[in-house]
């Protein structure tokens, strides 16, 4: 695939659509949660208002260069993840910058934001940030293990590291999806998915009742606005990867919207049913259940 300047505009368009989709979707999920609880819930455009409010705040203080870069890295992680993965299969416009080895790059970008955030929040000097960072890194590392194993299994199965080719192999029928051709791998990767979505039971990193509120304790105004943008972008980008790898990808925006929402709801549903794990509990959980399933997946390919 050759590079053309128009790709940049296309990528920006993808980003724009995905951010707006994420804004609405996260608000919708909160709204559904509120309705289940018998409340009216937030307005569907509340995320936009919060974003505008945070940008409009007048005073900002800084704790140093890395403190600036923390949210930037985080957002870079989200944007990078999205841009190097084909969002819509078969579309020239929303193919983004996908290339032969993008699976490896995606694996890297999943972790990139967390690391950047760890450095930035560490510089803010707040003890709660430090606790949140150490918990977050420990938990994400444990949760990533099954994903890495699952990705190896997939690349073995399809003999490629190119996400586009993986999606292509899953087209045709619903039974061509990795979900059905290789269920063990899917299960292993879904362990990692619920583990990194920052929802209960794996959200002790941000627990407002315990360590208010973890790494972002010191972040405010425009820094927080950046992180909010990432909070809506990053889950969608991550879901896109899972959709491409295991659920047959999407061939148009409607399919994209439905599939992303459905996969996102997996973590939401698990979150509302199970209470929060402590860090050592969740690490033990991943090592005990996620890791063996991942190894089994590799062995059975």
Partner 1 sequence: MKDLDKNFKKDTETEFPLREEMRPRKVTTPDGQVIDIDPLADYFCQEAPKVHRKSYSAIVEGFYNWARANSLWILGFGTGCGAIEMRPLMTPRFDAYRYGIQWRPTPRQANLLVISGYLSVKTLKRAIRAYEQMPQPKFVVGLGSCTINGGMYWDSYNTIKKLDEYLPVDLYIAGCMPRPEALLAGFMELKKIIRKGEAEGANKYAENFDWYKANQKSVIKDWDMPDYSW
Residues at the contact surface with partner 1, assessed by CB under 8 A: 34, 37-43, 46, 49-50, 52-53, 56-61, 128, 208-209, 212-213, 216-221, 224
CB of 51 to partner 1, least distance (A): 8
DSSP per-residue string spanning 248-297? ---SSHHHHHHHHHHHHHHHHHHHHHSPPPPHHHHHHHIIIIIHHHHHHH
CB of 140 to partner 1, least distance (A): 22
CB of 188 to partner 1, least distance (A): 34
CB of 203 to partner 1, least distance (A): 13
CB of 42 to partner 1, least distance (A): 5
Q: Residues 211, 279: contact at Cβ < 8 Å?
A: no
- Residue closer to partner 1, measured from CB, 5 or 127: 127
- Residue closer to partner 1, measured from CB, 39 or 284: 39
C-alpha span between 192 and 150 (Å, rounded) = 9
Torsion from C-alpha of 69, 110, 162, 158, nearest 10 degrees: 170
- Residue closer to partner 1, measured from CB, 187 or 227: 227
* Structure tokens given for 135: 């918990």
- Residue closer to partner 1, measured from CB, 54 or 157: 54
Residues 6+ apart with CB under 8 A from 5: none
* Structure tokens given for 97: 């910058």
- Residue closer to partner 1, measured from CB, 169 or 222: 222
Query: 97, 100, 266, 257: which is closest to 189 by C-alpha?
Result: 266
């Amino acid at each position: 695939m050759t590079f053309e300047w128009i790709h940049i505009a296309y990528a920006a368009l993808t980003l724009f659509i995905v951010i707006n989709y994420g804004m609405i979707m996260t608000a919708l999920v909160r709204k559904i949660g509120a309705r289940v609880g018998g409340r009216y819930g937030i307005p569907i455009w509340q995320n936009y208002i919060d974003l505008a409010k945070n940008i409009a705040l007048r005073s900002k203080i800084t704790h140093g260069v890395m403190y600036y870069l923390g949210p930037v890295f985080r957002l870079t992680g989200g944007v990078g993840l999205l841009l190097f993965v084909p969002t819509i299969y078969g579309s020239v416009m929303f193919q983004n910058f996908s290339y032969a080895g993008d699976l490896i790059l995606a694996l890297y970008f999943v972790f990139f934001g967390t690391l950047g955030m760890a450095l930035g929040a560490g510089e803010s000097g707040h003890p709660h940030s430090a606790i949140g960072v150490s918990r977050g890194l420990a938990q994400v590392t444990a949760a990533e293990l099954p994903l890495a194993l699952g990705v190896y299994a997939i690349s073995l199965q399809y003999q490629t590291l190119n996400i586009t080719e993986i999606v292509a192999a899953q087209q045709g029928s619903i039974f061509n999806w990795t979900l059905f051709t290789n269920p063990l791998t899917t299960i292993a990767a879904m362990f990692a998915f619920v583990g990194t979505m920052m929802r209960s039971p794996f959200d002790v990193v941000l627990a407002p009742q315990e360590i208010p509120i973890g790494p972002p304790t010191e972040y405010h105004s425009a820094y927080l606005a950046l992180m909010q943008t990432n909070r809506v972008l990053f889950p969608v980008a991550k879901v896109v990867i899972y959709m491409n790898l295991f659920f047959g990808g999407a061939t148009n925006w409607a399919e994209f919207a439905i599939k992303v929402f459905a996969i996102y709801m997996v973590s939401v549903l698990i979150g509302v049913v199970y209470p929060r794990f402590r860090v050592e509990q969740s690490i033990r959980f991943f090592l005990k259940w996620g890791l063996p399933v991942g190894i089994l997946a590799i062995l059975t390919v």
